[in-house]
Amino acid sequence: MHRDVDRTFTLNAGSRSSGRASSDVSLSQTDGSDGPSDPSGSSQRSKPRVGFGLSLSQFGREVGSLWMKATPKGFHSPRQIANEIRRLRGHAKTTIYERHRRFNDGNKSCPNYRELIPLCMSLVTFPRRASDAEERRAVDTDISKLLVEDPIVYQIFQQCKNEIESNKPQRDIGLFERPDSSDIENARGRWSRLIGYNSFGDYDAESMELNLDELKESIRNDHYAVIDYLPYVLATKMQGKDLELLQELWDHFLSCVVEFGYPIWMNVMDSCFKNIVSSGKPLAKFASPLQLKSIASYLVKYQYEAPFIFSSFFAVPTIELESKTSPYAAKFVYPAPFGDWDLVTASSYAVHFLRNKAFKTIVPNPESHLRTYAFELVKNTVLLDSRWMMLYRIVQGAVSNYRHANGVVRNVKRLKGVHPDLSLLMDDVLLPFMYLDTKNSKYTKEKSRSKFFISQSVDIDRYYKLEMLEAYETNIEYSQYAVDRERFQTYIRIPGGIYSLTFIPQFRNVPYLRRFRIGGKYFITADGLPEPIAHIWSPWNRENFLEDLAVDTMFLDGHLLTLLHIHDKTPFFDCTGHYPILAGYEMGTRDPFYIAVARLKPDSPWYFTTIKDGASSVKYTDEDGEEHIKSDFFVLALRHDPTDIPPPPYSHLRKGAKDPTGPVYWLKYWPHKDSQYADREVPSDDRLLEPFLNALRERKRTEQSLVELLSGFD
């Protein structure tokens, strides 16, 4: 942010106050080096001390007499004294980054030092004079912030402490009156350079990493001395390697909070997150749901220290009505500073926050604890809004099923309870709605809100809808409101709704499948080739597969399909009650094959294959040509009932459809392309696949002719 400040400053040693002797003193480096020091602590002339490395020796004997003055009159509290120090040091005209930059560039001038000495000494000795522990803590907080804001003031404090130590017996010296050790001075020096230069170092990556390690060590060992520097560092706008190292430093800080839980760290936590947001740092790296979850138990315990975190990351959203007459025009709106958040993002923060396992030992029931002990600000967060939290949990369940591709877990015959909050939420939004006066002006507004909550939960997929139909099978009026086709088709067109936010990434990235029919068998792929192609390439393979090689394409998007998860609790695949995607029919028996997916881990490659109804495992071939059998797999199926889905944009092209499953079907691609194929938005790899198959066919014919010719000489 302030890297453009010139590193060269003229040391100001001659300013005067009217009617008084000079009050401007330059503080010199004890190592004798007058050259500027860089962020990593090296010097162009000689190796300096790692810390501030300064002395107030130029004050001479005057220091001893100045600090002995009585507390300046007119100041009745430590905060007043601290603010007077800030005024004398010109803090209103400079930023903390400029002060640290100039200090580390060699500008050690100290105007008004005569006035500063007794003020600083008064603050140094104030904790010993404080009447109670609460007052001492307040003084300590004010002083800690002041020392971070101005490195010159810190050095004056150090000199004052040295004077006390040299003039009093050890038993009479208070804890705060003792000078910082050289280790703490070194640590403060590193943080000062980090703030001043907005960088971990201007040289090689190794020195930057070493500097990072020292800063981490100071957080762990000297947190009480350096913790107040962190919010200012997080407010800077670093880039590249510096930003990566800052993220690592921040993660280390959060891990220390989790490990040790020092309450002193909570004093800066709110400022840290506020500065992360205001400086535009990526929330995914500095303020993710998992990062807030890791410290959730401490935020709840010290909630009064975190007003920004609770009011920003856990605000209650609103439902914005786009029409005063239509009950189907409402959208999710999150307040500033995260006005661009959608339902999935907001729910992720709230749901993860209350899933912190540490709550079991610190706060067993976080929601109950918040309801009982929360301050007014926290009580107004979404964490205590039961309706929104039920919807949030349902949405996160859908995110797990679709965006994380964990699939819908099915029993053999039917699903019982897609989500424990679904029926509770429906009762909550339907019951009051059923008794609203239709002539009341609030009717349309409340009806729109109710339909919003229903659309973002019941309309997730056909299994949520079926559960509501079963739950309200004896209440026709309830079931009509819960299952509304017009509402569903309206909300799937609204940006930021559950339909657009929940998708299977595989089919969003590669919106199609290929079906290779080779030798009467089906091989399903996404943007790759099936393993038998390598077999066809061999000139010594005399089977004429090319005469029976055909390729079809199925166009998809990330929202059309769901994944039925088959595993040890659902020992075999039963297509009853589902719309599994048809891969084709077995030759001879005409038994249907359905498309299945196997993977080793959630983030592993997907291997597409086929399965029959009633199968308990699938067989697939990996990229090395090795066959595997898995009993944990997924079957592709339609996400919604075919009658609920609006006609797709290419519905008029279904003339050439092959083996359809509702709105999805196969189209001929090779060797003869369907006449309707050109009207579609073709896959990006078509320009590569078709020439490849044509060349494969010609090469195979040539090789087979050559093999036949050579075999005639046997």
3-state helix, strand, coil in the chain (%, to 5): 50, 10, 40
Indicate whether 532 pLDDT > 80.
no
User: Where in 278-416 does DSSP place strands (E)?
Assistant: 318-321, 330-333, 408-409
Q: What is the pLDDT of residue 114?
A: 87
DSSP, collapsed to helix, strand or coil, labels residue 157 as helix
CB atoms within 10 A of CB 485: 12
CB 565, CB 574: distance < 8 Å: no
Q: What residues contact 219, with CB distance under 8 A and at least 6 apart? A: 226, 227, 230, 249, 252, 253, 256
Mean predicted lDDT score pLDDT of the chain: 81
Indicate whether 68 pLDDT > 60.
no
pLDDT above 70 as % of the chain:
79
Kindly indicate the confidence band of residue 468, based on its pLDDT and cuts at 50, 70 and 90. Answer: confident
Indicate whether 676 pLDDT > 80.
no
Distance separating alpha carbons of residues 161 and 170, to the nearest angstrom: 12
DSSP, collapsed to helix, strand or coil, labels residue 592 as strand
Q: What is the pLDDT of residue 439?
A: 59
Q: What is the pLDDT of residue 493?
A: 75
Q: What is the pLDDT of residue 480?
A: 80
**Tokens 């339902």 -> residue:** 343
- Residue 583's Cβ-count burial label (10 Å; 0-12, 13-18, 19+) is buried
- Containing H/E element for 599? none
DSSP, collapsed to helix, strand or coil, labels residue 629 as strand
Tokens read off for 7 = 């590193």
Bridge partners of 549? 518
Q: What is the pLDDT of residue 188?
A: 96
DSSP, collapsed to helix, strand or coil, labels residue 555 as strand
Kindly indicate the confidence band of residue 524, based on its pLDDT and cuts at 50, 70 and 90. Answer: very high
Indicate whether 73 pLDDT > 80.
no
For residue 616, the number of C-alpha atoms closer than 13 Å in the C-beta half-sphere is 4
Kindly indicate the confidence band of residue 13, based on its pLDDT and cuts at 50, 70 and 90. Answer: very low
The conformation of residue 355, written as its DSSP 8-state character, comes to T
Residue by residue, DSSP assigns 139-155 as: HHHHHHHHHHH-HHHHH
Phi, then psi, of 659 in degrees rounded to 5: 45, 60
Distance separating alpha carbons of residues 539 and 535, to the nearest angstrom: 9
For residue 244, the number of C-alpha atoms closer than 13 Å in the C-beta half-sphere is 6
CB 202, CB 39: distance < 8 Å: yes
The conformation of residue 36, written as its DSSP 8-state character, comes to -
Phi, then psi, of 321 in degrees rounded to 5: -90, 125
Indicate whether 9 pLDDT > 50.
no
Tokens read off for 713 = 């000489």
DSSP, collapsed to helix, strand or coil, labels residue 185 as helix
Report the Cα 607 to chain-centroid distance in Å.
29
Distance separating alpha carbons of residues 322 and 329, to the nearest angstrom: 5
Indicate whether 184 pLDDT > 50.
yes
Q: What is the pLDDT of residue 34?
A: 34
Indicate whether 16 pLDDT > 60.
no
For 493-514, what is the mean pLDDT?
88
Distance separating alpha carbons of residues 13 and 361, to the nearest angstrom: 59
Q: Comparing 316 with 483, which gets the higher pLDDT? A: 316
Asked if the peptide bond before residue 532 counts as cis, ω within 30 degrees of 0, the response is: no
Residue by residue, DSSP assigns 491-538 as: HTTSTTSHHHH---HHHHHS-EEEEEEETTEEEEESSS--THHHHHH-
Name which of 330, 298, 292, 297 is nearest 314 in CA terms: 292
Q: What residues contact 387, with CB distance under 8 A and at least 6 apart? A: 425, 428, 429, 453
Name which of 445, 419, 417 is nearest 432 in CA terms: 445
Q: What is the pLDDT of residue 37?
A: 36
Name which of 610, 388, 397 is nearest 501 in CA terms: 397
Q: What is the pLDDT of residue 680?
A: 65
Q: What is the pLDDT of residue 197?
A: 95
Report the Cα 637 to chain-centroid distance in Å.
30
State pLDDT tens for residues 25-41: 455 433 333 333 333 33
Q: First and final CA of the chain: distance in angstroms?
A: 82
Q: What is the pLDDT of residue 414?
A: 44
Indicate whether 672 pLDDT > 90.
no
Least confident range from 232-241, 252-261, 271-280, 283-292: namely 252-261
pTM: 0.84
DSSP, collapsed to helix, strand or coil, labels residue 76 as coil
Tokens read off for 582 = 């048809």
Tokens read off for 138 = 């307040």
Q: What is the pLDDT of residue 679?
A: 63
- Containing H/E element for 608? strand 607-611
Q: How many residues does the chain have?
A: 714
Least confident range from 81-85, 107-111, 558-562, 616-620: namely 107-111
State pLDDT tens for residues 367-408: 777 777 767 777 789 999 999 999 999 999 999 999 999 998
Kindly indicate the confidence band of residue 59, based on its pLDDT and cuts at 50, 70 and 90. Answer: very low
DSSP, collapsed to helix, strand or coil, labels residue 167 as helix
Angle, CA 90 vertex, CA 85 and CA 94 arms, to 5°: 130
State pLDDT tens for residues 619-668: 998 887 788 999 999 999 999 998 888 766 665 556 778 899 988 999 99
Q: Comparing 185 with 434, which gets the higher pLDDT? A: 185
Bridge partners of 516? 523, 551
